[in-house]
């Protein structure tokens, strides 16, 4: 039943045995070493793993910021594994919004100008850019900070500007690499709550984190990476591990089955 539901949901990104190797003199670093991953429209996905496990490299591949050494990557069924940098830039400008740990805001542009920038590369006219930027900044509760510069606002506010900027071209997918890495727990949760809200509005969200609690609390699917490979995949609902719940339910059910079995035996005697 569930398989059927999955089939009907649109595949948006697919990694088919993807590898990314870095060559350093005689050394090969297998940063990503054979990853299969299918992301459906509307998913909230977390990529979890310790430092150096290949999270950022996988995210860059998923987000067409980089091309694989081996394997294939499909974006809405188009193979993008061998596209040129300018073709990739064109695709991600429209379809994917990025959020980074260090916010990556441009310091000499105001908050509003930072949000307007990605729309310039897509040829949106200045009035529309302004209107959309204002609307998005209000959405992330920064309507009163639009004319400030990045160094005049807090880290949490900067990350919300980055969320607004990621939304500027109305992408289908938002990729966030350790978006809460430079924030305290409470501020980080607020950022994650905004991402969850966007997911409810239909955006596909992919978050990289090394914090398992965060991954499990927010994502529907968690890919657990180690040494460039997927070690485990878990599914979650409202912060609960579905497989674990299922296992516990089966255990409980089997437990019941056993005791009722005994009862039946006793009755027969
Ligand atoms: P994570 O984001 O999980 O910390 P990364 O994807 O950044 O991990 O890195 C995975 C591995 O690949 C690490 O061993 C890292 O040192 C190596 N690596 C990442 N980028 C490069 C690069 N440009 N050149 C060489 N090695 C790299
Ligand atoms: Mg990283």
Tell me what pLDDT residue 2 has: 53
What values do phi and psi take at 209, rounded to 5?
-155, 155
Tell me what pLDDT residue 3 has: 56
Same domain, 243 and 155: no
**Distance from the CA of 60 to the center of ligand 1, in angstroms?**
11
For residue 51, which ligand has an atom nearest its CA? 1
Does any domain span residue 70?
A: no
Same domain, 154 and 257: no
Does any domain span residue 13?
A: no
Domain tally, the chain: 2
Same domain, 103 and 212: yes
**Distance from the CA of 57 to the center of ligand 1, in angstroms?**
6
Does any domain span residue 139?
A: yes
What residues flank ligand 1, with Cβ below 6 Å? 22, 24, 29, 31, 49, 51-57
Does any domain span residue 183?
A: yes
The CATH number given to whatever domain includes residue 170 is 3.40.50.300
**Distance from the CA of 55 to the center of ligand 2, in angstroms?**
5
Tell me what pLDDT residue 252 has: 81
**Distance from the CA of 30 to the center of ligand 2, in angstroms?**
15
Of ligand 1's listed atoms, the one at least distance from the Cα of 210 is 3
Same domain, 162 and 260: no
Does any domain span residue 24?
A: no
Tell me what pLDDT residue 260 has: 46
Per-residue pLDDT of the chain (269 residues; tens, 9 = 90+): 555 555 568 999 999 999 999 998 999 999 999 999 999 999 999 999 999 999 999 999 999 899 999 999 999 888 988 888 888 888 888 899 999 999 999 999 999 999 999 999 888 999 999 999 999 999 999 999 999 999 999 999 999 999 999 999 999 999 999 999 999 999 999 999 999 999 999 999 999 999 999 999 999 999 999 999 999 999 988 778 887 777 888 888 887 655 444 444 444 44
**Distance from the CA of 266 to the center of ligand 2, in angstroms?**
60
Nearest CA to ligand 1 atom 25: 22
Does any domain span residue 71?
A: no
Of ligand 1's listed atoms, the one at least distance from the Cα of 30 is 12
Same domain, 96 and 154: yes
Nearest CA to ligand 1 atom 10: 54
Same domain, 155 and 248: no
- Domain region containing 144: 43-60+85-233
For residue 27, which ligand has an atom nearest its CA? 1
Does any domain span residue 195?
A: yes
Nearest CA to ligand 1 atom 21: 22
Of ligand 1's listed atoms, the one at least distance from the Cα of 177 is 2
Same domain, 140 and 247: no
27, 34, 54, 175: residue to mutate for ligand 1 pocket, most atoms within 8 A of CB: 54
**Distance from the CA of 235 to the center of ligand 2, in angstroms?**
22
Same domain, 165 and 223: yes
Does any domain span residue 1?
A: no
Same domain, 102 and 224: yes
Same domain, 94 and 203: yes
Same domain, 226 and 243: no
Same domain, 120 and 158: yes
């Amino acid at each position: 039943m569930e398989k059927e539901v999955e089939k009907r949901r649109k595949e948006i990104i697919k990694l088919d045995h993807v590898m990314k190797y870095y060559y350093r003199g005689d050394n090969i670093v297998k940063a990503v070493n054979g990853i299969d991953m299918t992301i459906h429209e509307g998913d909230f996905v977390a990529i979890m793993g310790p430092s150096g496990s290949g999270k950022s490299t996988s995210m860059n591949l998923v987000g067409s910021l980089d091309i694989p050494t081996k394997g294939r990557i499909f974006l809405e069924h188009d193979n993008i594994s061998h596209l040129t940098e300018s073709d990739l830039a064109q695709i991600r400008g429209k379809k994917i919004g990025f959020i980074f740990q260090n916010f990556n805001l441009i310091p000499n542009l105001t908050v509003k100008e930072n949000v307007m920038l990605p729309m310039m590369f897509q040829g949106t006219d200045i009035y529309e850019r302004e209107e959309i930027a204002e609307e998005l900044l209000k959405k992330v509760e920064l309507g009163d900070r639009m004319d400030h510069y990045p160094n005049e606002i807090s880290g949490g506010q900067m990350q919300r500007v980055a969320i607004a900027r990621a939304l500027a071209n109305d992408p289908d997918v938002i990729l966030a690499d350790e978006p809460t890495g430079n924030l305290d727990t409470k501020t980080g949760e607020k950022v994650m709550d905004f991402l969850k809200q966007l997911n409810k509005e239909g955006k596909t969200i992919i978050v990289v984190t090394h914090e398992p609690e965060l991954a499990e609390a927010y994502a529907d699917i968690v890919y657990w990476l180690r040494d460039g490979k997927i070690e485990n995949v878990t599914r979650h609902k409202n912060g609960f591990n579905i497989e674990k719940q299922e296992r516990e339910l089966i255990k409980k059910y089997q437990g019941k089955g056993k005791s009722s079995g005994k009862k039946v035996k006793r009755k027969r005697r």
